[in-house]
Chain A
Amino acid sequence: DGGITQSPKYLFRKEGQNVTLSCEQNLNHDAMYWYRQDPGQGLRLIYYSQIVNDFQKGDIAEGYSVSREKKESFPLTVTSAQKNPTAFYLCATIPGQGITEAFFGQGTRLTVV
């Protein structure tokens, strides 16, 4: 089936640890996005990539890093510099480099313990 796979669904991190969230797509979409969702704040853009080997910071990139080595994959690393990482993280894709419809994965819930 075509789609976007985020893994794991739940992730627990100890303070001071880096963790990586996976986002894989087989839709052959050019652009991929990472959003963070907190209650009452909607979705905030962390990073996005419109082509392989290129990515741009979103509105809340501090404490996060990404890579786009393959078209299918856009992993997000939450570093120890992110002071409040507990949130729901959503990966999305868009077919081309302009805005059409965004397709979303099922999300990863990250909790700091």
Chain B
Amino acid sequence: AQSVTQPDIHITVSEGASLELRCNYSYGATPYLFWYVQSPGQGLQLLLKYFSGDTLVQGIKGFEAEFKRSQSSFNLRKPSVHWSDAAEYFCAVGGNTGKLIFGQGTTLQVKP
């Protein structure tokens, strides 16, 4: 079955600290992987995506993610978190079927 798991429902980090949000997926074919961010009451904004090639991808707002096929993971990282990064983050997987499957989301809280 195709699925995405984000093990951490809620994460709190201090401003300036590093961040890693975990994402594991199950997908039968070559996966296309995405990270989105959502502010309260808003739509989703794409942070970064992986289709092929270099397994370390850079995104907007200083985020990066690493695709590890052997671990079926696509974890999101940021070296130094800013208060404005507080939001909900979604990992998603898709492919040639036309369906995009999302994880349950991780809520990030940033302490001053």
Contacts and interface: CB of A to CB of B under 8 A. Distances in A.
B41 A48 contact: no
Interface string B94-106: 1111111111110
The number of chain B residues touching the other chain, given as a range, is: 20 to 34
Given A105-B43, A107-B42, A45 B99 contact: yes
Nearest to B94: A99
Interface centre among A48, A90, A99, A100 (most CB of B within 10 A): A99
B74 interface: no
Interface of A is mostly: strand
Interface stretch (A12-20, A36-44, A61-69): A36-44
A11 to B, nearest CB: 14
Interface in A33-60: 33, 35, 40-45, 48, 50, 56, 58
Interface residues of A, number: 30
A36 to B, nearest CB: 11
Nearest to A99: B94
B32 A99 contact: yes
Nearest to A35: B102
Nearest to A4: B43
Contacts of B44: 43, 90, 92, 102, 104
Contacts of B98: 31, 48, 50, 56, 94, 97-99
A90 B43 contact: yes
B73 to A, nearest CB: 17
Contact of B99 (A48, A90, A104, A105): A48
Interface in B68-112: 90, 92, 94-105
B67 interface: no
B56 interface: no
26 contacts: A42-B4, A42-B90, A42-B102, A42-B103, A42-B104, A43-B44, A43-B102, A45-B99, A50-B98, A90-B43, A92-B44, A94-B98, A98-B95, A98-B98, A99-B94, A99-B96, A99-B98, A99-B100, A102-B34, A102-B44, A102-B100, A103-B46, A104-B36, A104-B43, A106-B42, A107-B43
